[in-house]
């Protein structure tokens, strides 16, 4: 027969063994000092929301001069101003053509792979715009897309 003290020793050994297995399974636990109460860090100031349409409004196409008549190749010289606080690149300009009655005949998009610095401008000279529609008498231009470097 097994003595009572030997029985208790075996039980104690099994309990210690179970504890070791549990620690090995969970992995070592880092010692963390008690957290001292501290004030919350100051919140970063919120960035103002800038909507795409607001940015596009601050990209006017000015000093426009177009050369060409109905059915002929059309060229244009114009300036794109960037009135935003950040640079833009790879902007797309939509050229809209109108007839003598003022009706819109069609439009054409052209992308210019240029960089315009914040508060800067870019003059594009003699840009080829394709052919003027047969009944076209006037052209408007506006930036409809842009990228940010």
| CB burial string 46-60: b at 16+ within 10 A, e below | eeeeeeeeebbeebb
Residues 81, 141: contact at Cβ < 8 Å? no
- Which residue ranges make up each domain of the chain? 52-147
Put simply, whether the predicted model's pTM sits higher than 0.85 gets the answer no
- State the maximum Cα–Cα separation within the chain, in Å, rounded to a whole number: 118
Radius of gyration of the chain (CA): 36
Q: What backbone phi and psi angles, to 5 degrees, belong to 24? A: -65, -40
Report which of residues 115 and 18 the model is more confident about: 115
Could you read off the pLDDT of 41-67 as tens digits, one per residue?
777 777 778 899 999 999 999 999 988
Q: What is the CATH T-level fold of the domain 52-147, as seen in this structure?
A: Immunoglobulin-like (2.60.40)
Other CB atoms within 10 Å distance of the CB of residue 30 = 5
Average model confidence (pLDDT) for the chain? 84
Supply angle C-alpha 46, 47, 49, rounded to 5: 120
């Amino acid at each position: 027969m097994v003595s009572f003290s030997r029985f208790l020793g075996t039980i104690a050994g099994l309990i210690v063994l179970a504890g070791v297995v549990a620690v090995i399974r969970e992995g070592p636990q880092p010692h963390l000092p008690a957290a001292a109460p501290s004030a919350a860090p100051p919140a970063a100031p919120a960035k103002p929301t800038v909507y795409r349409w607001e940015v596009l409004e601050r990209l006017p196409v000015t000093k426009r001069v177009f050369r060409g008549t109905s059915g002929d190749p059309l060229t244009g010289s114009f300036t794109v101003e960037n009135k935003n606080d950040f640079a833009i690149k790879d902007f797309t300009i939509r050229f809209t053509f109108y007839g003598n009655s003022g009706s819109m005949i069609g439009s054409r998009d052209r992308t210019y792979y240029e960089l315009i610095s914040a508060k800067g401008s870019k003059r594009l000279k003699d840009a080829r715009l394709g052919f003027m529609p047969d009944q076209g008498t006037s052209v408007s231009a506006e930036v409809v897309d842009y990228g940010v470097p």
